[in-house]
Amino acid sequence: MGRVTVRRPVLRLSHQGERHRPDALAAEEPLELRIDGKAVAVTMRTPGNDVELAHGFLLTEGVIGDREDISAARYCAGTGPDGRNTYNVLEISLSPGVAPPDVGVERNFYTTSSCGVCGKAALDAVKLRTRYAPADDDCAVSVEVLTTLPDKLRAAQKVFDSTGGLHGAGLFTTDGELLVAREDVGRHNAVDKVMGWAVQSGLVPLRGCVLMVSGRASFELVQKAAMAGVPVLAAVSAPSSLAAELSDEQGMTLIGFLRGDSMNVYTGAQRVLR
């Protein structure tokens, strides 16, 4: 497995002068995802939890609905300059009867760590119809619980402590219990790893759950939450206009600027107990 962090020498400049010292950087390497021998995506990610990443990606793209839809996941042979396996090519075998990805919603062959939705064929193609409608979930979460989530997620970001360069995503119950947290250089990858964990754990659809993300709430993160049946998405920063539009359309609760004891509720305010 590739390294999660990489040590690199830096020149530190401050009012105290300058000095050379090592610094830890968040690792970023390509992961090529193949489905039954066909390359469908390459994403730049932080190595680790790659099988979860693949499961989450395929769930949120509408290819699979649960863990039984995948029969096998294995790394393909591929070596780096040192002769060791790079673990950067993952082969997924779909179970009999599971249709391969629709060409109309496939990503372009390459996506960056910061952008997932821009590789789509067209905007309409990403408004995927979820198998698990969030609008049917009448769960509720209190303001008091919501205000604790950013600190709980931050406490679970172990690699962020050493690098400061990773996005975080955490799945919580409406009582504030952390179920799982994942980190990645790409915010959409962090969410895919969380969703993949849920798929492998047999927890999808994610009724009565809150997805907390460390950055902004983009359109694609709302889409991913909707595809897994997540009723509440909260972020420490701002949502985009399209994210709010999709959240409203899917009957989700979307919360932004969740900091300290305040927040903005953009959609689905009936789930927030005041």
Question: CA-to-CA distance for 53 and 197, rounded, in angstroms?
Answer: 8
In the numeric block, which tokens belong to residue 133? 């409608």
Cis amide linkage into residue 150, ω under 30° from 0: no
Task: Region of 36 please: left (phi>0), alpha (psi -120 to 50) or beta.
Answer: left
User: Which positions are catalytic?
Assistant: 115
Give the residues across from 22 on adjacent strands.
9
100 DSSP 8-state letter: P
217 DSSP 8-state letter: B
Angle ∠(8,14,16) on CA atoms, nearest 5:
115
41: CB partners within 8 A, 6+ apart: 32, 33, 57, 106, 107, 109, 111, 119
CA atoms within 13 A on the CB side of 50: 29
Question: CA-to-CA distance for 78 and 90, rounded, in angstroms?
Answer: 10
Question: CA-to-CA distance for 154 and 152, rounded, in angstroms?
Answer: 5
